[in-house]
Structure 1
Amino acid sequence: MAKFIVAAIFLLLVAKPAHAYLDPGTGSMLIQGLLAGVAAASVGIASYWSRIKLFFSRNKASGTTEEIDSDDEAAK
């Protein structure tokens, strides 16, 4: 393991600069991917909102699981 760390440090020290260029299209793709991830997370949270709310609620009434089951059946 120590040899691997020494080799990795050596390669990082002697590596030549890449002179990479990120054009506006690449930046646009990164922003689009970020927005898509936010949208997907929003849809996922909205889909399971009643279960999330039940999980964090302090007063867990006995009828709440029946409400969730009826919501799931109505969604189908």
Structure 2
Amino acid sequence: MSTQPLEELRQTLAADGYVLAVTRVGPRLDARISAEAGVCGDCLVPKHLMATMIANATGRTPEDIDVTYPSEIGDDGQLVEA
């Protein structure tokens, strides 16, 4: 997996106040996007499009990527119960 396309995606998101963290969890990727203070947590593209962008940057398939958006992450960094 080349890190350059993923780093470019991170920089693109960072320009709008988002932070992308991608970790490998077994055969899957866990992609968590958090928003800096004052940035809209719901103003991102639909998850399936974000998964496709991350897949293109990592050589994975969108189905192998779990995407978590800022509105799903609590102040403690943990997932919010639905």
TM category, shorter: under 0.3
Q: Which has the larger radius of gyration?
A: 1
TM-score normalized by structure 1?
0.20
Q: Which has the higher helix share?
A: 1
Q: Which has the higher strand share?
A: 2
